[in-house]
Chains A and B, each alone.
Chain A
Amino acid sequence: MNDIINNRELLDTFITEVIEHINSLESNIVKLTNNKDDRDLINEIFRSFHTIKGSSHYLNLIDLVNITHNTENLVDKIRRNELKVNEKIIDILLESLDIIKLLIDNFMKNKKGDIKELDIFFNRLKEFLPELQLKKIEETEKEDINKEEKSNKEIYIKYLIFKLRDTLFAVKADGVIEIISPKPISKLPFVEEEIIGLINFRGELVPVIDLLYKMDNLKNHLENNKIIIVEYNKEKVGIIIDDVLEIVNINKKNIASKEEFEINIKEEWIEGVFLYKESIVILLDKKEVLKRRIKNG
């Protein structure tokens, strides 16, 4: 990547583009003060931080990568409705922008050295983003993703086991996005029986289903339940559960076919069954559970 830093044209493009994004961030963050729920505005702010991050990475400007990466994550939380825009958040965004300007300025002037504002900023950011990530160099995550190819061939698969009315179920853990407490569920008439209703999850309407809808009606006593949000191919579904028990590694060869057991749920939802602490666990076929659901938008 040294060839980039020595290429005048590329450097000029980098600087011009970053300055454009800084300017657009400046006006968009101010606009946000009066339009705290404007999705387009939030998305645009997200993309600006994201683009600066991507480009800075090419030039190995680690401070710039760290600040834009974490600010992007903060904005992502807003996008996903996990955080609401308020004065404090707007201050943080403006502060981030100021430091980005300072870093770019130093880069243009070829000034090296640490910026003390960075640590203060990251400490403040932690209040909203406890999962703050500071990278030293970019290699680790790329290695992870390359390793993944190999691990896919491993026979052990991680499953999340959960309980619903004395029945144990499992789904592949990597498709589980989040476990949430019940949110207001909008009841829906005229849809498939298993759908209890819709919830608003990160700004998306997600159907919530009751796996055991055939057994009795859950619709009226949901207070003690939780919902796990599962995703496959961008389709999301919420599954009503009583509790999560554990995440386990199951060897593929220990999964039996469903024909060997009688189970009182929609047959096409079942991928197989396995034994867990002497109980039978029903392994859900994510693809099938997520099929033919209401589309968003």
Chain B
Amino acid sequence: MLRKKILIVDDSEFIRKVISFALEGKYEIVTAENGLHALEILYNNKIDLIISDIIMPVMDGYEFVKRIKKEDSLKDIPVIILTTESYKDTKKEFKKLGISDYIVKPVDSDILLEIVDKYLLKGDKNE
């Protein structure tokens, strides 16, 4: 069976590696260092889930998610925000954009995998 593909968006190479490290046993990983780079990848690949940071140069997570949610071909891909921002208002703003989950870094790799599984193992059932 073809492995599901996860796009990790974070400007820190270290964080991209840490997250890849947690998920690569089970999923195929693609990474991008900002929102714009991530959009390019999304246009050219079939991605099953996105994990994105918020504060990034070039295009931040907020703008990135806003763009995804405007595109019919992308808006149904589950988005998990993985951030050090623990402000409730930030979380609310993202929830309003229609993200699937909001996780505060650092997160244990087992827990992250569990959350990702929740979205990717449920087949084509929605929400």
Contact = CB atoms under 8 A, between A and B. Distances in A.
A10 interface: yes
B96 A50 contact: no
Interface string B77-109: 000000010101101110010000010111011
Contacts of B93: 233-234
A10 B17 contact: yes
Interface in A18-54: 43-44, 46-47, 50-51, 53-54
A44 to B, nearest CB: 7
B86 A145 contact: yes
A186 to B, nearest CB: 27
Contact-residue size bin, chain A (C-beta under 8 Å from the other chain): 20 to 34
Nearest to A69: B84
Interface in B1-53: 11-15, 17-18, 21, 53
A112 B80 CA distance: 36
A65 to B, nearest CB: 9
Contact of A55 (B15, B57, B86, B108): B15
B55 interface: yes
Given A57-B106, A144-B86, A50 B17 contact: no
Contact of A145 (B53, B62, B102, B109): B102
Interface stretch (A1-9, A86-94, A221-229, A276-284): A1-9
A138 B106 contact: yes
Contacts of A47: 11, 55-57
Interface centre among A14, A16, A53 (most CB of B within 10 A): A14
The DSSP consensus for interface residues of chain A is: helix
A142 B56 CA distance: 21
Interface centre among A13, A16, A54 (most CB of B within 10 A): A54
Contacts of A10: 14, 17-18, 21
Contact-residue size bin, chain B (C-beta under 8 Å from the other chain): 20 to 34
B91 A4 contact: no
B114 to A, nearest CB: 14
A148 interface: yes
A42 B50 CA distance: 29
Given A3-B109, A141-B104, A234-B93, A148 B17 contact: no
Interface string A55-75: 101101000000000000000
A57 B86 CA distance: 13
A20 to B, nearest CB: 9
B88 A148 contact: yes
B90 to A, nearest CB: 10
Top 9 closest A-B pairs, CB basis?
Answer: A141-B86, A58-B106, A13-B14, A54-B84, A142-B104, A57-B106, A14-B14, A55-B14, A51-B12
22 contacts: A17-B14, A44-B57, A46-B55, A50-B55, A50-B84, A53-B84, A54-B12, A54-B15, A54-B53, A54-B105, A55-B12, A55-B15, A58-B106, A60-B106, A141-B86, A141-B104, A142-B86, A142-B104, A144-B88, A145-B91, A148-B88, A234-B93
Interface of B: 11-15, 17-18, 21, 53, 55-57, 62, 84, 86, 88-89, 91-93, 96, 102, 104-106, 108-109
Given A50-B84, A58-B15, 16 more contacts: A1-B108, A4-B18, A10-B17, A10-B21, A13-B14, A43-B57, A50-B55, A58-B105, A138-B106, A141-B86, A145-B86, A174-B88, A174-B92, A175-B89, A233-B93, A234-B62
